[in-house]
Amino acid sequence: MKICIYGAGAIGGFLGAYLARAGHEVSLIARGAQLEALRSKGLTLIHGEDKFTTYPDCAEDARQIGPTDAVFVTVKGPALPSVGDGIGPLLGSDTAIVFAMNGLPWWYDYGREGQTTGAAALLDPTESLRRVVGAERAIGCVVDCPARVAEPGLIVSNRASKGKFTIGEPDGSISQRIIALSNVLDEAGLDGPVVEDIRRAIWTKLVVNLSRSPLAVLTGAEESKLSDDPDITAMAREMITEAAAVAAAHGIPLELDWPALLETKYRTVHRPSMLQDWDAQRPMEIDAIGVIVSRFAAEAGLETPTINRVLAMLKMKAREVGLY
C-alpha cells in the first residue's frame, strides 16, 4: 500500500518505521532538522529492545509525493491548518485520511446525531480541512504508544508492548477501507483494532491526556511523579470527573478505571507529548485537549471549574512565551 505519514515526529516516525519495515511504499512529510536527518541517515526506531533503521521517501512538499492510498496525519493540533493547506496533492479519489492525533477531532460532528458543536470552528479555523479533505474522508484514530524524538531521525519508545492504533469510522460503520487499514497495521507488527464507536475511544483517551498533560506542563513533572503527589492526584480526579460528565452529555458514558487512571504503579517515567512540546517550545494541543471540553461543557450547561482553572494557568503560561 502507498502510505504517507503527514508529520514525522514521535508518533509519525514510530508508525512510519513499522510500515516501511513491513514493505509498504511509505513517505514522510517532514521539515527542518528532522527532514535533513531522515534524508541523510534514514529513520531509526528504538522500541523496547528492538532497534532498526528504514529509509522511506521524505519530502517537505506533498507535491513531491503525489496521490496515495492512505494518509496518516500525525501532527499536533496547532499544525492542522497547515495540513489543510498542504495535503491536497496526496489525495486521490479514494484516499483515506487517518487522523492519529490527541484530543477531540475537527470532524467530531460528522455522522453524529445530536446538536452541532463548535468543534470544526475551533479546530479547523481556516476551514481548509473541511474544504480540501472533507469529513467524509476522515477516519478516527486513538494512539497508544508513548514515544519521543530523541534526536533528529531517531524515535525512542521505552515501552516494549505493541504500538496500538485504534481506528474507527465517524459514522460507526465497518467499511472495507477501515478493515484494509487494520490489516495493514496488524501485519506490520502493530495493533490496529477497529471500533464502531470511535468517539468513545477518543473520549477515553482524552480524559487521560486532559488529567496529565496540562498538569505536567504547569509542574514540569513526568507522569509517575504527578501521581506521587496526593494534591495533584486529587486535581486529576476532578478533571476526569468533569470531562466524563461532558462526554455523558454527548451520549457517551465512560467506564472509568480509576486505579489505572490515577495510581503510580500504572504510570511510567514518561514526559507527556504536551510537556515534550513545552520543552521544545512548540505550540501545544491546548484547544483540542482542553478548551474544546470546556466549551462543550458550557454548551451543555455543565460546570468544569477545575478544568477551567487549569486551562487559565496553562494558557497564560503559553501566551507568555508566544506559544498560544
Going by pLDDT thresholds of 50, 70 and 90, the confidence category of residue 116 is: confident
92 Ramachandran zone, left/alpha/beta (phi>0; psi -120 to 50): beta
142/236 same-domain check: no
Indicate if 225 belongs to the active site.
no
20/41 same-domain check: yes
Give φ, ψ of 30 to 5 degrees.
-140, 180
221/265 same-domain check: yes
Question: In this predicted structure, what is the pLDDT of residue 275?
Answer: 96
User: What CATH number does residue 68 fall under?
Assistant: 3.40.50.720
Query: Residue 58's beta-bridge partner residues?
Result: 28
Q: What percent of the chain is modeled with pLDDT above 70?
A: 100
Question: In this predicted structure, what is the pLDDT of residue 270?
Answer: 84
pLDDT digits (tens, 9 = 90+) for 51-98: 999 999 999 999 999 999 999 999 999 999 999 999 999 999 999 999
69/97 same-domain check: yes
35/183 same-domain check: yes
Q: Tell me which of 2, 162, 164, 205 is the catalytic residue.
A: 205
pLDDT digits (tens, 9 = 90+) for 10-26: 999 999 999 999 999 99
186/87 same-domain check: yes
All three cell numbers of 51, joined, read 532497534
| Adjacency order of strands within the sheet including 148-151 | 50-54, 43-47, 154-157, 148-151
pLDDT digits (tens, 9 = 90+) for 162-178: 999 999 999 999 999 99
18/50 same-domain check: yes
DSSP letter assigned to residue 48: T
Question: In this predicted structure, what is the pLDDT of residue 82?
Answer: 92
Question: In this predicted structure, what is the pLDDT of residue 268?
Answer: 79
* Cα-trace Rg, the chain: 19
Give φ, ψ of 124 to 5 degrees.
-130, 65
- Model confidence at 285: pLDDT above 80: yes
Q: Which of 196, 211, 226 is the last residue of a domain?
A: 196
User: What CATH number does residue 284 fall under?
Assistant: 1.10.1040.10
Question: In this predicted structure, what is the pLDDT of residue 112?
Answer: 83
pLDDT digits (tens, 9 = 90+) for 221-272: 999 999 999 999 999 999 999 999 999 999 999 999 999 999 988 887 889 9
Question: In this predicted structure, what is the pLDDT of residue 22?
Answer: 98
Selection from 238, 236, 242 nearest residue 264 by Cα: 236
How many folded domains does the chain comprise?
Answer: 2
Mean pLDDT of the chain: 95
Question: In this predicted structure, what is the pLDDT of residue 72?
Answer: 98
Structural domain for 291, as ranges = 200-320
Q: Which of 196, 223, 251 is the last residue of a domain?
A: 196
312/247 same-domain check: yes
61/188 same-domain check: yes
The Cβ of residue 213 has, within 10 Å, a number of other Cβ atoms equal to 28
207/175 same-domain check: no
163/91 same-domain check: yes
Question: In this predicted structure, what is the pLDDT of residue 318?
Answer: 97
- Model confidence at 301: pLDDT above 80: yes
The DSSP string of 146-200 is: --EEEETTEEEE---SPPEEEEE-TT----HHHHHHHHHHHHTTSB--B-S-HHH
Q: Which of 164, 196, 228 is the last residue of a domain?
A: 196
Sign (positive or negative) of CA dihedral 296, 298, 300, 303:
positive
What 3-state class would DSSP assign to 97?
strand
Going by pLDDT thresholds of 50, 70 and 90, the confidence category of residue 43 is: very high
41/181 same-domain check: yes
